[in-house]
Amino acid sequence: MNRFSLGAQTGGPDERKTALAHEQQLRNFCNRWTGDYSTDIREFAFLLRIDGQIHRYTELWNIHGAQKAIRKRDWIEVEIGISEERWRRTDNDEYKRWLAQEVEAGLKSMIEVLQA
């Protein structure tokens, strides 16, 4: 049985209540999403790297949006770089749609890695 997870690393104590609510909603969905998708891995993991006042991951590591999936032992991971401009300056519904779009792109990348 496979499972999905969504973790986050934030770059500071910024005020992100609305963005956090959307991320938590997606996390709750991932926690319920299980099934028999691959015998090669046990977990599909998404890791949000969210810019803040202290760390700006999108600049530091040059990650914007979903990155290419990386297989690690018995799980596969996709990092998603989120700029401060993205979570702070976009409309709430737009941010939610963008985040879902990046998770979808990450999932497609995971499938490509597993097929290879």
pLDDT of residue 91: 81
Q: Provide the sign of the torsion angle of the four alpha carbons 24, 30, 31, 33, taken in this order.
A: positive
Alpha-carbon distance 88 to 91, whole Å? 8
C-beta contacts of 109-112 below 8 A and 24+ residues apart: 109/66, 109/67, 109/68, 109/69, 109/78, 110/44, 110/69, 110/76, 110/78, 112/69
Alpha-carbon distance 42 to 73, whole Å? 9
pLDDT of residue 46: 97
Structure tokens at 111: 């499938």
pLDDT of residue 62: 95
pLDDT of residue 50: 92
pTM more than 0.85: yes
Mean pLDDT of residues grouped by 10 in the chain (116 residues)?
Answer: 92 81 88 90 95 93 97 95 88 88 96 93
